[in-house]
Chains A and B, each alone.
Chain A
Amino acid sequence: MRENKIKSDATEGAAKTPPLMDIRNLKVYFPIKSGVLLGRTVGHIKAVDDVSLHINPGETLGLVGESGSGKTTLGRAALRLIEPTDGQVIFDGQELRDLSSQEMRQRRRELGFVFQDPYGSLNPRMTAGNMIGEPLKIHKLHSGKEDRRRQVGDLLETVGLSRSMADRYPHEFSGGQRQRIGVARALAAKPRFLVLDEPVSALDVSIQAQLINLLQDLQEEFNLTYLLIAHDLSVVRHISDRIAVMYLGKLVELSDYKALYDNPLHPYTQALLSAVPLPDRALERSRERIVLKGDIPSPRNPPTGCVFHTRCPIATDECRMTIPTMKEHAPNHYAACIKL
């Protein structure tokens, strides 16, 4: 068992192909305000607490965790859509936090975000065409109105919609179509890196599969790198190369996609896998089920020591005292648990 931290893995990777996105010891804390005018800070929500991971060019990293675990916050901080409290976000060899707002604006073109909610994320008063064309305007990537219209049409076709849909408003689209519009908009400025925040969670199964396949095709066609966020482990396996699991702001496991399913190390990952019912009778009869007791603790008041100890089936007293760190237990397979 090697004892190097995940950070050194990122550095190792740098010797071969440098990662496109390299997140080091990232912390995003939100102040908890109190008092009549909410002026006093009485504590912090550690939405992302000392997370390190990297994403290689052309790779998909799946990021999985339940609600409040900090996935969206991590994704937003990776694009500097929110300012990290501490740590580094290095994109293509450049620390984003060092960039001036002018420089950041230029970099922004290469970074895209697809939002969690296909219903809430589109402006109801803008046509699909204007929404998709907006990034072209912002980054001045078109030569006149005609050209913009042509590019928007191309983008609509790229995501499997028809050019004629450019003049329609969001309410005229189904959930799956809205999510495609979100993807087209994110692609407009020809980004290199996309954060996909639960892009299919709100969609029906038959529509989910269409979108997953589309995302896969787009990645290949445009040589994209993805951070794919999901709340369970079923969708991500299909398109992730590596998978990271988060719980209450902490990374608890990170590995190659196959090892994570074949040999999950962390008790939380094991429970998360067991919680997803499979559409297979024989398997469901024979599978061992781990049912976690209790609720997910409030991130305002996380447990001491290992944040998972209140629900962990194998926790002991020691777990309440010791904060586990990510250790490499097999080549490129990291987990944070003192019992491993």
Chain B
Amino acid sequence: MDALRGDSAPLLDVRNLVTQFVTDEGPVRVVNDVSFQINEGETLGLVGESGCGKSVTALSIMGLVPTPPGEIVSGEIYFQGQDLLRISGEDLRGIRGSQIAMVFQEPMTSLNPVLTIERQLAEPLRMHLGMTRGVAKSRACELLEMVGIPDPEDRLKDYPHRMSGGQRQRIMIAMALSCNPKLLIADEPTTALDVTIQAQVLELMMTLSKEFGTALLIITHNLGVVARFADRVNVMYSGKIREMGPADDIFDSPSHPYTIGLLNAIPRFDQGDRARLQMIKGEIPDPAHRPSGCSFNPRCPWAVDKCSVSEPSLAAVGPDHTSACWEAATVSKAQLPVAP
């Protein structure tokens, strides 16, 4: 199914990942059969609205799903040919932080408030790269400088709460890139920041990952961010990837009703007239009570009878472009069906 493109294997290959949480209502599959790949050096955007399973996908890759209540039920996660779900905890810890790094949404929760910036930056350098204290310190200083923190020498002695949100997130990026990882997972890295600071932090992250040759999995609810930075895009809804393809195709010829709905719902200031926003009717389903068949069916303007009975899987709609929709062939951005 997931034929490898070109002659090189993908850097990360997630296959049929199922992750569940045990809730009052029993086990709920919040990531429900997700497969995708990331190639070396590329930027993959994972987009979807809140609760669709983006963060749990990232945590599954990192081996950080809180257990209990969470549990990876099945699937494989190959990283450079090794299945991360079947290696020892020690090996996984070795990979995490050095080969795969992660930047979280809220930098305050991932920086330790009682340790100085120096401790937090230098520690992984000493642990993963075996640097001496002195070397690690001057590298930490360089890293702060690289992410544009003024007076890096002084700031090394500071604690995180003395920094602004943007500075903390830039430090997280410095930490994440410090061991030169092959893959950086950034989970809504700028959602908590102001708009001009968001632009600044994203730009920095992109420039540095290009420079370091790091592949990037950028998780966001913002399709604009994906349009600006991603090479390929996965669109996720209620635990499943619904559309997948090169970014140009996803934006120019979206082939899943949910992708189209999202694109139409975004208020845009670059378009001449202020047409009324096209909304997606209804609510995002609770994963414990997903509608049967295609779980988007109660909100979908294209839905046909089959949709509430039978669940579609990803199928090709173009080269390297797939959509999980029974009506994929008729669905297009240009022609919305008439509302019933």
Contacts and interface: CB of A to CB of B under 8 A. Distances in A.
A87 B197 CA distance: 32
B114 interface: no
A169 interface: no
Nearest to B198: A275
A279 B251 contact: yes
A325 to B, nearest CB: 23
Contact of B196 (A212, A235, A271): A271
A204 B49 contact: yes
Contact of B284 (A67, A204, A209): A204
Interface string B269-284: 1100010111111011
Nearest to A257: B274
B157 to A, nearest CB: 19
A304 interface: no
Interface string B188-210: 00000011111110010000000
B50 A284 contact: no
Given A212-B277, A284-B227, A295-B166, A275 B199 contact: yes
B267 interface: yes
B167 A209 contact: no
A209 B198 contact: no
Contact of A278 (B50, B148, B224, B274): B224
Interface string A196-222: 000000001111111011001000000
Interface in B128-171: 148, 164, 166-167
B195 A272 contact: yes
A216 B199 contact: no
A14 to B, nearest CB: 28
B266 A279 contact: yes
Contacts of A292: 196, 199-200
A281 B248 contact: yes
B268 interface: yes
B265 A209 contact: yes
Contacts, number: 130
A209 B223 contact: no
Nearest to B283: A174
A237 to B, nearest CB: 4
Contact of A209 (B224, B252, B269, B278): B278
A176 interface: yes
Interface in A256-272: 261, 271-272
Chain A interface size, under 10 / 10 to 19 / 20 to 34 / 35 or more: 35 or more
A238 interface: yes
Contacts of B316: none
A205 B262 contact: yes
Interface residues of B, number: 46
B227 A278 contact: yes
A289 B274 contact: no
Contacts of A296: 164, 194, 196-197
Contacts of A237: 267, 269, 274
Nearest to A208: B265
Contacts of A232: 195
A199 to B, nearest CB: 13
Of B196, B223, B268, B279, most buried by chain A (CB within 10 Å of CB) is: B196
Contacts of B166: 295
B266 A205 contact: yes
Interface in A229-283: 231-235, 237-239, 261, 271-281, 283
Contacts of A104: none
A66 interface: yes
B172 to A, nearest CB: 15
Given A281-B252, A295-B167, A209 B196 contact: no
A214 to B, nearest CB: 9
A126 interface: no
Contacts of B270: 261, 278, 280, 283
B283 A207 contact: yes
A281 B227 contact: yes
Nearest to B228: A277
Interface in B228-287: 228-229, 247-248, 251-252, 261-263, 265-270, 274, 276-281, 283-284
Contacts of B195: 66, 231-232, 272, 275-276
Nearest to A237: B269
Nearest to B167: A295
A205 B265 contact: yes
A206 B284 contact: yes
Interface in A272-329: 272-281, 283-284, 289, 291-293, 295-296, 311
A233 B199 CA distance: 14
Q: Which 9 A-B pairs have the closest CB atoms?
A: A277-B224, A275-B199, A206-B280, A209-B265, A204-B49, A66-B194, A277-B228, A209-B277, A209-B279
Given A279-B223, A296-B164, 15 more contacts: A66-B197, A176-B283, A177-B283, A205-B49, A206-B49, A208-B267, A213-B276, A238-B274, A272-B195, A275-B196, A277-B222, A279-B266, A281-B252, A295-B166, A296-B197
